[in-house]
Amino acid sequence: MYGTLILSRRAGSLHLIPQKGPKSSLYIPYIHKFLDLGDPNHNEYPTKTFLMLYADKPDIVLELIRLWSQLYEGYLRNWTGPSDKQLRYLTFGCGGNIDDSKNNPGIDRTDDIKKGVYQMLKLGEHFSAKCKRSRIKIALLSNIHAVRHHRDYLSGFEELTWTYERCLEPTDDSEWKRVRVDDLINLYDAFIALSQPQFREEAFRQGFSLEYLLNKL
């Protein structure tokens, strides 16, 4: 994609103003700052270019975190704040009333939650259950957690462990059956996200927790 797209408020609406030339920029609203991402045709565009130019600049990183926080908090309060209409444009690409479960960010889309749950079961059945050393772990990844649908769709899965009926052995007590620990499979070992991650093992917390990373820094 060529050019930089600038959001311009005019006559009560937002307009896209393309800039000519083989260059693109990341625009940070509210502080009105453009971060050069380089030529889209370059093999280091955009991630490597961004890392080389800005990753070691704490002020830039802080502004990006602040922007992400603003968008997240607007979504969290269901866009009820006085300036949330602008935030909604940046999150959904439209300020209209399209904020249904099909347009929610991250794993908060109901169809993505259902797909994710099935995929975790399938990976557990196809890989984890067949790994005798329990070396294969399963994680669900998203930029944010299911902010609006966690209670109805994911609550209660955090500690879910399953096994096959054939692995259950009778005991002297008819109300109980037993199973080998190695035959127990976690639905998922970690849910990795920027907001409210969940870790069932300390190794995942140390590897993917932002809190752990910040403490080490």
Residue 106's pLDDT is 81
**44 and 71 belong to one structural domain:** no
Q: Residue 210 above 60 pLDDT?
A: yes
**113 and 171 belong to one structural domain:** yes
**112 and 196 belong to one structural domain:** yes
- The dihedral through the CA atoms of 63, 69, 71, 77 has a sign that is negative
217 and 164 Cβ atoms separated by less than 8 Å: no
Q: Residue 13 above 50 pLDDT?
A: no
Number of domains into which the chain is organized: 3
Residue 9's pLDDT is 42
Residue whose token pair is 């639905």: 187
**50 and 61 belong to one structural domain:** no
Report the alpha-carbon distance of residue 71 to residue 29 in Å, rounded.
11
145 and 199 Cβ atoms separated by less than 8 Å: no
Residue whose token pair is 């080998």: 180
105 and 143 Cβ atoms separated by less than 8 Å: yes
**127 and 201 belong to one structural domain:** yes
- Domain boundary among the residues 99, 126, 159 is at 99
Dump pLDDT digits (tens) for 21-77.
567 888 887 678 888 888 888 888 888 888 899 989 989 888 888 888 888 898 888
Q: Which residue has the higher pLDDT, 94 or 172?
A: 172
**68 and 122 belong to one structural domain:** no
Report the alpha-carbon distance of residue 15 to residue 2 in Å, rounded.
17
Dump pLDDT digits (tens) for 155-175.
988 899 999 999 999 999 999
**116 and 153 belong to one structural domain:** yes
**145 and 68 belong to one structural domain:** no
**126 and 198 belong to one structural domain:** yes
**65 and 129 belong to one structural domain:** no
Strands 185-186 and 161-162: antiparallel
Range of the domain at 22: 1-54
180 and 145 Cβ atoms separated by less than 8 Å: no
DSSP 8-state assignment for residue 92: H
**190 and 178 belong to one structural domain:** yes
**172 and 189 belong to one structural domain:** yes
Residue 82: cis peptide before it, omega within 30 degrees of 0: no
